[in-house]
Chain A
Amino acid sequence: MFGLKADWSVDVFERYFTLGNYAGGEARWCPGCGDFAVLNTVHRVLRDAQMPPEKSVVVSGIGCSSRLPHYVGTYGLHGLHGRALPLANGVKARRPDLDVWVGTGDGDCFSIGGGHWLHAMRYNMDMVILIFDNGIYGLTKKQTSPTTPTGERTNTHPEGSLLPAMNPLTVTLGITNVSFVAQVPDWNPPLLYETIKAAHKHRGTSFVRIMQRCPVFSDDFCKPYQDHPENMLLLSHENGIPAADNVKKLFKEQIEHDPSDWVEAMKIARDESKLPVGLLYRDPGAVVYEDFSAKGLNKTNEEKLAAINTALDAFAI
């Protein structure tokens, strides 16, 4: 952030934020939990964007991942199970100046908050949604979630999960006015960083599904991809998520994918033989709801009173 410019002068910012400015309470997740990786990445993205901590709000629902706000030193709203998205949308509605983040999980977002998920994507308010998807309910100790693989034994389905796991990518891509869909594993720090950074930069609702390790309750969920990177498919494109050569080297399977190509994105998402990693879809032109909801913020009291008086005139006798 500090540096010599061509004229030998130095930009000195009034405030410079370090990682410490974004630190919240001490994170209490299980050892080996993928959430730590996401938390650290959020801190770094905030620091690198030099977001004033008082201008960011981290909103969440209920679950392991929804503890996120407590561990970030910005404002936070630790809401109710499934309701992170309406709360976050409300924060943004009349405060477009605030930088909004949502931390949610597969149960919180895809199950109890399913209805809100569809509509929040359509509102497309400028925020980052981080889905910590570990394919299990962790906080309540191992119940089946919508993304639990078929046959996985859980405490609610001891003989194995009954239904095919939900594909959150195809669902999200199918929503009208969707504007940013990405997927990334939590165990690749550079890619995680670049993905969340791109999501933060995008104006609109950025949906980032993070394949998140839960070594305690769903170790099998990420294992097939950790142990066999060839089961993942890296999406590269000049408009996609930047990946350095040493990152690319980890992925045996790669394709070029233009994130403006929705049909191709849907095809890639639908093919469950490989886990796509990177940016599936981005539409920078999608309608953003706060462009409507935040209208009229600058009205003076005088203007308001005059308008209400006019409204009263219509009822005058």
Chain B
Amino acid sequence: MTQQADNGDSAVQIGGNKTAAKVDEYIVEIVSDSGEGAQKCGQTFGNISGKMGNGVWTVEIIPAEIQPPARSPAGASGIRIRIGSKYITNMGNEAELVVAFNEQVLFSRIANGAYKEGTIVLLENKWETDPDEKIRNQYTAAVKEFAEHGLIVHELPIEEACLKIVSNARKGKNMFVLGMISYIFSREPDLGRKEIANTFAHKGDKVIQPNIDLFDSGYAFAAERLDYLWEIPPYTTDTTKPTIITNGNQAVGLGVMAAGMELISMYPITPATSATHYVADVFDNVGGFVHQAEDEIAAMGFALGASFAGKTACTITSGPGMALKTELIGLAVMAEVPQVIVDVQRGGPSTGLPTKVEQADLLSSIYGEPGDAPKVVIAAATIEECFHFVILARKLAEAFRIPVILLTDANLATGVQPYTRPELQEEWLSAPIDQSPWDDSVPAFDWDEGTGLSQRPIPGQRNGEYVLTGLSHTDRSKVAYDSDTNQTSMAHRSRKLAALQKTLKPPKVHGDEAGGDLLIVGWGSTMGAIEESVDILRGQGKSISTLHLRFLSPLEPGLKEIFSKFKKVMTVEINYSDDPNGPLITEENRRYAQLAMMLRAQTLIDIDCWSVVYGHPLQPGMLQAEFNQRLDALNN
């Protein structure tokens, strides 16, 4: 069978002088059983590509279980890497080449529409001769079925080649595959070797050398056996600026440090935890501390205690954790304690889809607490913003004496992208806590009539003694049950949002500022996919534009004016909304996507929405098709 494939139409002239075909971009996937290292392989490939000046976006394919059964479609674990000669902002459409460690894991990817006719499959062929007849039959049937799907399958003795170097191919096959794809995409082999040496630096030469050997043999193996060779020229806009490459959770972690926060108080939860894993590795060096609390509530309480004592702290969590923290977030609002809360959103409700993306915590973040609890909610649209928005969040939290929720999601958390290396600023760090005596004629909540803002005494400041309380309180933080105190203190806390909103600029329209047919409004991680599809349609002469919101509470100004310049405005979101044509659905009972609901209420404009909860990031192709339909409907 191997022999046949090798001699088949698209394969291989051994040796021959191959020349690399230049392409503008390419999407590769590596899919395996859980624990075979496909993700490490893909991340390293992404790093190498970034270092070679390419635009890169990687997305992990994660099964929700730690050890799903081997060779099962549901157990597909892996990674997609999209590289290009341009800035890449999303996972793109179908992959063009996939390396698969077994044939079964491909089925779930095919079901997800990850591949198209002509997608090249480099498939481990050891299953063909497996002692278990059932496996042999499964394999043969699958290879046939893949061909029927239009996939171009090359069955390759990957394991056999690895066993020449290591005794257990399960550990190491990933580096062999890294060598293969490094060859196929003309990556500099030295960069690969360096990455491997870095990755295994703490394990020493005994581990580094065999992995480099595996990489080199994979490289030679592909050169010898495969006729595929592409070159993706560097992304050339500005290669002079120092660049870093991180995923969104690492960016959040770096942001926490660059913001000068000295404490992350957290409880493990997917997909947020890896942000803390990263910080835990390096926090000591900046004098910070990770507190792993006994539960989500305690994580928030601990952070709040530290913030009250003058050290604004950060808690990083995901949907179920947000639910548990709700009451304490309410206390932070009521008692005006600065607090940074990062919510790495995942599929909900309840345990939902822990490893997959959703943008469904918007309304619960803004309105989640019982009682009126005005707070700042912002959302990062790129991995770079995951870094900068943490710094912004701390500043806002302290300046407005308010909790700030930063929304990211599983797509940003695990996506990897190169971006301009931040130039650290001393003013990003928090100021040392003020321990000078407090002027005791100034109450602890000296609310400014115009803005609701006030300075707060920090424990240790003489004459500043006050009792923080979640009960309704006067400006001197005295418990007060009277009507006027409650009414005016609520007004002051709410006014802070209006004061912040007044400092914001209207969002920029990507496209026609003067207006046009269709305006797409997005927030969070969907920006890349939305803008890419809008750009393609605009290239075809369509009147479509987009704008992307970063501030959700308060909302950015000028929205009504911008919206009214377009024939139709719709949001695109990854949260559930009713299909207007679904059974029983009428204009009266249709449930809109979350941002759409807010914008409709705020602007009184008939804003539509398109939203899905497939658990994966939005693909530009999908959006293009949807936008085309909407544009046709508008113009007919």
Q: In the complex, which residues of chain A have a beta carbon less than 8 angstroms from the beta carbon of B50?
A: 317
- Interface-centre pick from A69, A303, A311 (highest chain B CB count, 10 A): A311
Nearest residue, chain A, Cβ from B301: A86
Residues of B within 8 A of A (CB): 47, 50-51, 242-246, 250, 254, 257-258, 260, 262-263, 265, 282, 284-289, 291, 293-295, 297-311, 313, 327-328, 331, 418, 421-422, 424, 426, 429, 457, 459-471, 478-479
**A–B Cβ pairs within 8 angstroms, 15 of them:** A73-B465, A83-B301, A87-B304, A89-B302, A90-B301, A91-B306, A91-B459, A116-B298, A116-B301, A297-B262, A298-B287, A311-B257, A315-B244, A317-B50, A317-B51
Closest 4 CB pairs of A and B: A90-B305, A296-B287, A86-B301, A76-B467
How does the 8 Å CB contact mask read for A48-68 relative to B, with 1 for contact and 0 for none? 000011110111000000000
Report whether A90 and B313 are in contact in the complex, using a CB–CB cutoff of 8 Å. Answer: yes
Query: Using an 8 Å CB-CB cutoff, how does the interface string of A280-310 with B read, 1 for contact, 0 for none?
Result: 0000000000001111111101011101111
A69 vs B473: C-alpha distance when bound (angstroms):
14
Q: State which of A93-101, A222-230, A232-240 sits at the interface with chain B.
A: A93-101
Chain A residues, Cβ within 8 Å of B284: 295-296
CB pair A304–B464 under 8 Å, yes or no, is no
* Separation of A309 and B219 alpha carbons in the complex (Å): 34
Question: How far apart are the CA atoms of A73 and B465 in the complex, in Å?
Answer: 7
* B294, B300, B331, B462: most-surrounded residue (chain A CB, <10 A): B294
Question: Chain A residues near B294 (CB, 8 Å)?
Answer: 86, 115-116, 118-119
Q: How far is the CA of A86 from the CA of B258 in the complex (A)?
A: 26
Shortest Cβ distance from A184 into chain B, in angstroms? 25
CA distance A157 to B470 in the complex (A): 30
Which residues of chain A have a CB within 8 Å of any CB of chain B? Answer: 24-25, 52-55, 57-59, 69-70, 73-80, 83, 85-95, 97-98, 115-116, 118-119, 292-299, 301, 303-305, 307-312, 315-317
Are B309 and A57 in touch, CB under 8 angstroms? yes
CA distance A79 to B334 in the complex (A): 11
Minimum distance in angstroms from A146 CB to a CB of chain B? 18
Number of residue pairs across A and B with beta carbons under 8 Å? Answer: 200
User: With a CB–CB cut-off of 8 A, which chain A residues contact B288?
Assistant: 296
Apart from the given pairs A77-B467, A315-B250, A316-B242, 7 other A-B contacts in the complex at a CB distance below 8 Å? A54-B459, A54-B460, A78-B468, A80-B327, A98-B459, A293-B291, A304-B257
Complex CA–CA separation, A299 to B432 (angstroms): 11
C-alpha gap A91/B244 in the complex (Å): 36
Q: Would B286 and A308 count as touching, CB distance under 8 A?
A: yes
Note all chain B residues with C-beta closer than 8 A to A304. Answer: 257, 260, 286-287, 429
Contact present for A95 and B311 (CB under 8 Å): yes
Using known A-B contacts A83-B301, A98-B459, A115-B298, determine if residue A77 contacts B426 with beta carbons closer than 8 Å: no
Residues B305 and A59 in contact, CB atoms below 8 Å apart: yes
> Which residues of chain A are within 8 angstroms of B464 by Cβ–Cβ distance?
54, 75
Contact A75 B260 (CB under 8 A): no
- Known A303-B287, A308-B286, A312-B422; contact A70-B309, beta-carbon cutoff 8 A: no
Chain A residues lying within 8 Å of B421, measured Cβ to Cβ, are 312, 316
Does the CB pair B243–A299 fall under 8 Å? no
Beta-carbon contact of B282 and A305 below 8 Å: no
Q: Is the Cβ of A80 less than 8 Å from the Cβ of B465?
A: no
Given contacts A86-B293, A119-B294, are A93 and B254 in contact (CB under 8 A)? no
Please, how many angstroms separate the alpha-carbon atoms of A88 and B260 in the complex? 22
A72 to B512 CA separation, bound complex (whole angstroms): 62
B residues within 8 A CB of A78?
Answer: 467-471
Chain B nearest CB, measured from A249 CB (Å): 40
Asked if A94 contacts B302 (CB within 8 A), the reply is no
- Chain B minimum-CB-distance residue to A302: B426
B461: chain A residues within 8 A (beta carbon): 54
Once the chains bind, are A75 and B424 in contact (CB under 8 Å)? no
Give, as a whole number of angstroms, the nearest-CB distance from B302 to chain A.
Answer: 4
With A54-B462, A91-B305, A316-B242 in contact, do A310 and B467 touch (Cβ < 8 Å)?
no
Pick the residue among A93, A97, A317 that contacts B291 (CB under 8 A).
A93
The 8 Å CB contact of A299, one of B286, B291, B301, B469, is B286
Which of B306, B331, B467 has the most C-beta atoms of chain A within 10 angstroms of its own C-beta?
B467
Q: Please give, as numbers and ranges, the residues of chain A lying within 8 Å of B263 by CB-CB distance.
A: 93-94, 293
Assuming the contacts A53-B465, A98-B459, asked whether A93 and B286 have C-beta atoms less than 8 A apart, the reply is no
* Residues of chain B within 8 A of A295, CB atoms compared: 284, 287, 289
Complex-state Cα separation, A297 to B286, whole angstroms: 9
**Chain B nearest CB, measured from A107 CB (Å):** 16
User: Are B470 and A299 in contact, with the CB atoms below 8 A?
Assistant: no
- Inter-chain contact A54/B463, CB cutoff 8 Å: yes
* Across-interface contacts of A292 in B (CB, < 8 A): 289
Q: Are A80 and B287 in contact (CB under 8 A)?
A: no
Asked if residues A55 and B460 are in contact (CB atoms below 8 Å), the reply is: yes
